[in-house]
């Protein structure tokens, strides 16, 4: 059961216990001109920067002529590092969380620190900026009104196939990241499962060698079989066509409606045997594990009797 506790954050009001703030800072994904004045200000005024790779972030700080201290925080960091950062925040220090490139916590281990801070009542301040998934989407030419970001697919073939089969009927543009050395294998599998569908491969976004391939899944597969593809890759797949499209929750709701219709029919059958409505609902509810109140509502939605 989810604990029903509402937490209110007034991001820039003084904290009643004197806590600092955690700034979740997006950094450029390739073009340093994309850095904002706000990012520059935050990185220059916080007490410390928690970085996925301190070597990469040091280059960024050097470019900005900033001397803010760095601490390493990544997916393999021991729990003590997260605890230390939370202690510093509670002591009043402001901390900036950055990844190697792009927005922290998006396919990135920063989520764990953010979650802990929200649990401890520490303000978490987003400082928006570059993100490869959205950057690729807006230039892809694929529908942008509904989309689903998948991050990286599972590495094992069986789990990857299982996930793709669960996604193939969704009416959303799918966005995923993939490593160059796995791209060919992944595209082979996607083509097998999805068939012919529009797709886009975006590479080296915002960098001097930025490159888009727009076509079908087969077109992309043909290309990567004939060319060596390097760099940071984002793959986008068009939504399932209307004839194939299915939304799981709508299917589940349809099933529930169908099931309730059958249960109401059972209630009516018992009433036809002379059993009163209240007792008929109780019997069907007990035999099927259905809430009697739901059965009553469903029954009266079908008929105005009793």
CATH number at residue 224: 3.30.950.10
What CA dihedral angle connects 135, 141, 189 and 150, to 10 degrees?
A: 40
Q: Has residue 121 been placed in a domain?
A: yes
Q: Has residue 16 been placed in a domain?
A: no
Tell me what pLDDT residue 83 has: 96
Can you give the pLDDT of all 306 residues of the chain as single tens digits? 455 578 899 999 999 999 999 999 999 999 999 999 999 999 999 999 999 999 999 999 999 999 999 999 998 899 999 999 999 999 999 999 999 999 999 888 788 999 999 999 999 999 999 999 999 999 999 999 999 999 999 999 999 999 999 999 999 999 999 999 999 999 999 999 999 999 999 999 999 999 999 999 999 999 999 999 999 999 999 999 887 766 665 655 655 676 788 788 888 888 888 888 988 888 888 877 788 888 888 888 754 344
Tell me what pLDDT residue 299 has: 85
143 lies in which domain range? 133-237
Choose one of 203, 237, 271: the last residue of a domain. Answer: 237
**Does residue 151 share a domain with residue 223?**
yes
Span 248-301, pLDDT tens digits: 656 556 556 767 887 888 888 888 888 889 888 888 888 777 888 888 888 887
Tell me what pLDDT residue 3 has: 57
**Does residue 200 share a domain with residue 180?**
yes
**Does residue 80 share a domain with residue 140?**
no
Span 116-146, pLDDT tens digits: 999 999 999 999 999 999 999 999 999 999 9
d(CA 126, CA 212): 29
pTM to 2 decimal places: 0.78
d(CA 58, CA 70): 8
**Does residue 229 share a domain with residue 167?**
yes
**Does residue 145 share a domain with residue 118?**
no
Q: How many CB atoms lie within 10 A of CB 270?
A: 17
Three-state SS annotation for the chain: CCCCCCCCCCCCCCCCCCCCEEEEECECCCCHHHCCHHHHHHHHHCCEEEECCHHHHHHHHHHCCCCCCEEECCCCCCHHHHHHHHHHHHCCCCEEEECCCECCCCCCCCHHHHHHHHHCCCEEEEECCCCHHHHHHHHHCCCCCCEEEEEECCCCHHHHHHHHHHHCCCCCEEEEEECHHHHHHHHHHHHHHHCCCEEEEEECCCCCCCEEEEEEHHHHHHHHHHCCCCCCEEEEECCCCCCCCCCHHHHHHHHHHHHHHHHHHHHHHHHHCCCCHHHHHHHHHHHHCCCHHHHHHHHHHHCCCC
Q: Has residue 273 been placed in a domain?
A: yes
Q: How many CB atoms lie within 10 A of CB 17?
A: 9
Count the domains in the chain.
Answer: 3
d(CA 102, CA 108): 10
Tell me what pLDDT residue 201 has: 99
């Amino acid at each position: 059961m989810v604990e029903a506790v509402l937490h209110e954050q007034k991001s820039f009001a003084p904290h009643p216990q004197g806590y600092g703030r955690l700034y979740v800072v997006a950094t450029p994904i390739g073009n340093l001109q994309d850095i904002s004045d706000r990012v520059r200000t935050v990185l220059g005024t916080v007490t410390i920067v928690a970085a996925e790779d301190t070597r990469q972030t040091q280059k960024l700080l050097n470019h900005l002529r900033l001397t803010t201290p760095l601490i390493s925080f990544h997916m393999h960091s021991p729990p003590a590092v997260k605890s230390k950062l939370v202690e510093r925040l509670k002591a009043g220090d402001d901390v900036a969380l950055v990844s190697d490139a792009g927005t922290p916590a998006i396919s990135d281990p920063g989520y764990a620190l953010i979650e802990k801070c929200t649990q401890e009542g520490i303000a978490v301040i987003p400082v928006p900026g570059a993100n490869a998934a959205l950057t690729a989407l807006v230039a892809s030419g694929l529908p942008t009104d509904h989309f689903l970001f998948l991050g990286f697919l599972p590495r094992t073939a069986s789990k990857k196939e299982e996930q793709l089969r669960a996604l193939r009927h969704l009416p959303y543009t799918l966005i995923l990241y993939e490593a160059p050395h796995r791209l060919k294998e992944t595209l082979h599998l996607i083509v097998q499962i999805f068939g012919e569908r529009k797709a886009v491969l975006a590479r080296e976004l915002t960098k001097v060698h930025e490159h888009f391939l727009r076509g079908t899944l087969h077109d992309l597969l043909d290309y990567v079989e004939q060319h060596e593809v390097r760099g940071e890759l984002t793959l986008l797949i068009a939504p399932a066509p209307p004839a194939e499209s299915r939304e799981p929750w709508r299917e589940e709701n349809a099933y529930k409606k169908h099931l309730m219709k059958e249960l109401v029919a059972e209630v009516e059958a018992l009433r036809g045997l002379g059993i009163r409505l209240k007792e008929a609902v109780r019997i069907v509810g007990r035999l099927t594990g259905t809430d009697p109140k739901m059965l009553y509502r469903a029954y009266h939605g079908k008929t105005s009797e009793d």
